[in-house]
Structure 1
Amino acid sequence: MENEKELYTNLIPHLNCKDFTVSNETFQILKNEIYEMLVTFPVPENLEDYYKSEAYISHTDSKKSLLDKVYQLVKSYTLKRKLSLLNSFETESKLVLDIGAGTGDFLKVCKNDNWKVLGVEPNLNARNIAAKKGIQLKENLLEITNRKFDVITLWHVLEHVQDLKGTLKTLKKLLKPEGRIIVAVPNYKSCDAIFYKEYWAAYDVPRHLWHFSQKSIHKLFSEVDMMVDDTLPMKFDAYYVSLLSEKYKSGKIKPLKALYRGFLSNFNAIKTSEYSSFIYVIKNF
C-alpha cells in the first residue's frame, strides 16, 4: 500500500458501517479532506473472503429474489447505454478493456457489436460464467502487457481496487494517446447517501475501499496527467441503491419507499448535481 500513504494521512471519523452482505462486521469510514474522499478502515487481510456470497450479485447471474430481478432488468437496459457511449468515441481499432468484468455481459454486448474485447475479473466463479458466454477473462491486470486500448472501462470497480494510485498509473500506460477511460462509481455526497447514512448500500464495506466525490475523481486522475472530459449521471442507481438500503435499514424490502427516496435523490440532484452514481469519461491532457 506504499502508493496509498497520502490517502491514509490526516483522516477524520465520518461514520461506522456494517457489512450487510457477508460478515456483519463493523468497519470505520474515515474522511480525507484534501481529496474529499472517504476510506474504509481497516482493510481485511483476507479481503477476497468478503466476496464469497450468493448475495454478491455481480459475480452471478442470479434471478432468485426481487432484488436479483430488479438488478438484472436494470442491467439489460444499462448495457445498451454503455455500448452507445463507447460507440460515441472515434476509434481506429475498436479495442476495449473491461476491468472487473464480472460475468462478461458488457463485453459480450461489445463483441456482438464488432468490438475487439479483453477483460479482467479476479473472481473464478464469474470468469467461468463468462467463459460459457464465449468471453475469456484474465485473472488480473498484470497479465496484460504490450497492449494499448481505445477504451478502458471500470463499471463500479475503482472503489474495489487496493492499489488505487498504482492502478491509475497502469491504466494510463494501457491507454492509447487519444483513448478514453470510463469510470462508474457511487457518489457519497448524493441525497440518498446523506439520508441513509450508515445504511447506504453503496458504502458496501469492506469490499468498497474508497468512496468518491466528484472532486476526488478529478484530483486523482489529474495526478497522473489525465482529466475528466465528461460527467454523466446514473439515475437508475438511486432507485436500486435505495431498495437495498431500505432492506439494510429495516430488514424488509420496501419498494415504494425506495422509489420515493430514489426519486427525491434524482430530483435534488437537478439543483446540486450530486447524483447517486456517476460515469466519468477521462482522457489524457
Structure 2
Amino acid sequence: MKMETLSCCPVCKGERRTPYLVCKDYTVSQEEFTLEQCQSCGFVFTNPRPAENEIGAYYQSTDYISHSNTKQGLVAKAYHSVRKITLQNKLKLVNELSPKKGRLLDVGCGTGMFLSVCKEDGWQVAGIEPDAGARQIAVEQTAEHIQSSILESYAGETFQMITMWHVLEHIHQLDATLNWLKDRVANQGHLVIAVPNLQSFDAQEYGKYWAAYDVPRHLYHFSQKAIQQLVSEKGFTLTQTLPMPFDSFYVSMLSTKYRDGKINYVEAVRKGLRSNQWAKSHQNNYSSLIYVFKKA
C-alpha cells in the first residue's frame, strides 16, 4: 500500500509536529496509523496516510454503513432508525437558512438519502459521491445524475446551499477542495459542514479506541478552532455551531466494540448521555458538530 507523508500542517502550514496517538483500523485492515499534532496551531491529522488512489481499499466493508443501505445487525438498525430523525433535522436546518430554497449540492452524498428528502421538499438537488456502489444507490434513490469527483464537477456553477455531512475529514486535497467550495457557493449562500469533534467527552474517554478517529479514512481530526480557522480563510463567516447529539451514542457503541470486542450497550447509552451533558458546560464540545458558514 502506497503511503504519503504530509510535510506541513494542513491548517497553518507549520512544519513542526509531534506524535499524538496511534490508532487501529478496526473496520477493514486492522493496521495501525499515527496521528500527529501541529506544534504551532494544535491541529491533529493522520500522518502518514494512504495515497488518494489507494484509499478506496479501506472503504470496502459492509460495516461502512454510510456507503450501503444494509440494516443487518443492531448497530445498522440503530443507525437507520436515528437517520430518519436526523434527515428531518438537516432538512429543517437548510430550510431555515434558505427559506426560498434553490440549488443544493450535497458533497459526499453517500446513498442519496438526504438529497432525496430535500428534492421531495422542493430543492433542486445535485450530488457528488466517489464510491461507485453508494453512487449507484444514490442515482436510483434520487433519479438524478450524481458526480463522482469533486474538483472536476460543476465548473462555473453556484449553489445556494452546499452540505458536507461527515465528509471534510475524508478529503485528501483539502486546500484545493476548500477553494473549489468558495467558488461554488453563491454570494450570501451557505456552506454546512459536519465533522467529529476531537475535544468531545467521548473522544477523551475512549482515547485510541474512539470510533470517530476512524483511521485511515479520517485524515483530519478537527477542533472548533481548527475548522473555523481553515474555512474562514476562504472567505466564509461562521454563523452557527450546532450539536449532533445522537453521534455520542453511536460513537460510544462502536468505541466499546473496538475496546472490548463486543458492544456494551448500557455503557454506550450512559457515556453518550454524559458526553452530551458535559458538552453543555464545556464550550459546546459535543461528539460531532455542525458548522454553518455564510459566504459574504
TM over 0.5: yes
In the superposition, relative to structure 1, how do residues 200 and 27 fare at CA in structure 2: closer, same or farther (>3 Å)?
same
Q: 2 CA distance for matches of 1:282 and 1:225?
A: 9
Q: 2 CA distance for matches of 1:25 and 1:202?
A: 16
Aligned to 1:265: 275
Aligned to 1:137: 146
In the superposition, relative to structure 1, how do residues 84 and 91 fare at CA in structure 2: closer, same or farther (>3 Å)?
closer
| 1:235 partner SS | coil
| 1:143 partner SS | coil
**Corresponding position: 1:94 with 2:98:** no
More helix by percentage: 1
Q: How does 1:180-259 map to 2 (within 5 A)?
A: 180-259=190-269
- Where structure 2 has 5 or more consecutive residues not aligned to the other structure, the ranges are none
Q: Deviations over 1:74-119 (max 9, x none)?
A: 1111000000001002365611000000000000000000100000
Q: How does 1:12-161 map to 2 (within 5 A)?
A: 12-45=18-51, 46-90=54-98, 94-133=102-141, 134-141=143-150, 142-161=152-171
Contact 1:4/1:164 (<8 A) preserved:
no
**Corresponding position: 1:11 with 2:17:** yes
Greater CA drift, 129-138 or 202-211: 129-138
Greater CA drift, 185-194 or 225-234: 225-234
Aligned to 1:284: 295
In the superposition, relative to structure 1, how do residues 222 and 3 fare at CA in structure 2: closer, same or farther (>3 Å)?
farther
Superposition RMSD on alpha carbons, in Å? Answer: 1.7
In the superposition, relative to structure 1, how do residues 3 and 163 fare at CA in structure 2: closer, same or farther (>3 Å)?
farther
- The alpha-carbon deviation at position 226 of structure 1 amounts to 1.4
| 1:159 partner SS | helix
Q: 2 CA distance for matches of 1:84 and 1:183?
A: 15
The alignment-based identity, stated in percent, is: 43
Using structure 1 for the length normalisation, give the TM-score: 0.96
- Where structure 1 has 5 or more consecutive residues not aligned to the other structure, the ranges are none
Q: Deviations over 1:217-258 (max 9, x none)?
A: 110012112121100011110000000001000001111110
Contact 1:35/1:215 (<8 A) preserved:
no
- State the AA in 2 paired with 1:75: R
Q: 1 CA distance for matches of 2:153 and 2:201?
A: 39
- The alpha-carbon deviation at position 144 of structure 1 amounts to 1.4
Query: How many residues are paired up?
Result: 285
